[in-house]
Amino acid sequence: MAALQDFGTLHLIDERSSLPPPFQVRAHHCGISVPDLERSIAWYRDHLGFGLEYRTSMPMVPFEGAFLRRGETRIELFELPDATVMPAERRDPVTDLRTHGTKHLALEVDNLDTAFQWLSSRGVDIAMPPFEAHGLAGCYIRDCDGTLIELLEHRDGRGLVQPSQPSTFNKEKNMTELRHHHIEINRCKIHYVEAGEGPAVILCHGFPELWYSWRHQIPALVRNGYRAIALDMRGHGESDVPQDVESFGVVHTVGDVVGLMDALSIEKAVLVGHDAGTSTAYNTALMRPDRVLGVMGLSVPYIPRGPKSILEAFEGAVPPGFYMQYFQKPGIPEKDLERDVRETLRRLFFANSGLNPNVPFLMTVPEGGNLIDGLPAPSAGMDFLSEADLDVYAQAYSRTGFRGGLNGYRVFQQNWEHTAPWNGMPLPVPSAYVGGTADTVLHFPGFREAAQAMGRALFLEGAGHWIQAERAQEVNMALLAFLQMLKK
């Protein structure tokens, strides 16, 4: 169905037919059940400017109600004597989506920045700080009883409400204000990028990635008052690539994070990890819970250390030539991946994305063959990865090669041995998870259950492994909601 809006009247056109239905429709009102009618009337009057239009009642139900109005927008409030309390999951913009049915009330505003600042100054309950996507800027608030209200501003000229003053957010400006630094931590030079001011959020990428993998999250964090810090993990990008494999162990990468926090005088931070970066994020929380406010994992869930390493657990449970086992042999995968760096990256990103029609896709190497030739290649561009984005990765890995990232797989057994003191330990800090249903990781035995056990778990239908790029908006919303929860 396509909708054409004309001064508030909505004409519905069935794209299968040129004949519209013989009637017109337009929004009239949104109905909200409340525990205290008079209190809610006052809240909508004082905070959103709605006046009382008229009162209603229906003795047979029974309920007492009121229609509120601001301009052409109406809200009906009704109070029933024996209504049940709103479930907790309905108060959160992310968890509320997990049940079917009508969701939040959405109101268009002329300037989101002004609205958000004014409402915040009046102590309104913020459910999700401002975000931006597809020409829309928005945020979620809660009314006095927990009902979700989304405030939206069109920033592409399509809005019905005309801005009274220009918006203040400029994504390009924020991205050019990135601050690049190099620092020596534990005898290893680490490159990191930061932007913004406020509580620190440290971002740990996976393989084959860079700090640049957080390009969609950094502006959202900055805009919402956070200090975003994205590392080139050791062995990647502009960070050093130690010669010995043992230097890539999780004790070292945790040391990099804690050392960076010490150098920047950050007492506590929230950690976010993707793919192999989750190992650093989770283990930092385990080893130094005094420094971690919370941890979010993307793609790979937290699984407590068990009686076997991940390589031992996969033995016999995965097909021959499984890529993690292939990566154990020094020199062979490097030669394979470095024959054509750009093509390697293009195929790795596509094969493990939601764009691959054969998801979930398990990377394996035929006997006597190689990995990259067996990976599917995209027939066109990838909507989550532009050619310019691919250039950033290709230039970095052409300079460093893939040895640093591959060494991260070669310390799996070492990591298991070095983390014995935390055997079976749950995460000691609040945690959250976001993953895609098309991501092969979630199809490994027990991984989806492990994600659900993390508490705040969000599964995005059809998304692949590169979740923070493929579904940047949803990831940003989940991350901001988690950060907001941690403030409480």
Residues with a known catalytic role: 275, 465
Tokens of 67: 């229609």
Q: What's the 3-state SS for 233-294? A: CCCCCCCCCCCCHHHHCHHHHHHHHHHHHHHCCCCCEEEEEECCHHHHHHHHHHHCHHHEEE
**189 exposure class (CB count in 10 Å sphere: 0-12, 13-18, 19+):** middle
Q: In whole angstroms, what is the distance from residue 441 CA to residue 323 CA?
A: 13
Buried b / exposed e over 294-316, threshold 16 CB at 10 Å, is: bbbbbbbbbbebeeebbbebbee
Cα 134-139-143 angle, rounded to 5 deg: 145
78: CB partners within 8 A, 6+ apart: 31, 32, 33, 34, 37, 56, 63, 64, 65, 66
What separation in angstroms does the CA of 365 have from each of 314, 326, 336, 349, 379?
A: 15, 7, 11, 17, 22
Which residues are within 8 A (CB) of 325 and not within 5 positions of it... i.e. 6 or more apart? Answer: 311, 314, 318
DSSP string covering 38-64? HHHHHHHHHHH-PEEEEEEEETTTTEE
The DSSP element (H or E) to which 203 belongs, if any, is strand 200-204
Distances (CA, A) of 275 to 203, 209, 289, 480: 12, 9, 21, 20
Q: What residues form DSSP beta bridges with 33?
A: 78
Q: For the stretch 155-185, what's the b/e string if a residue is b when 16 or more beta carbons lie within 10 angstroms of its beta carbon?
A: beeebeeebeeeeebeeeebeeebeeeeeeb
d(CA 292, CA 428): 9
Quote the DSSP letter at residue 25: B
Q: What is the C-alpha to C-alpha distance for residues 109 and 441, in angstroms, rounded to an integer?
A: 41
Query: What's the burial of 466, exposed, middle or buried (CB within 10 Å: 0-12/13-18/19+)?
Result: buried
DSSP 8-state code for residue 30: E
**Considering just the CA atoms, what is the radius of gyration of the chain in Å?**
25
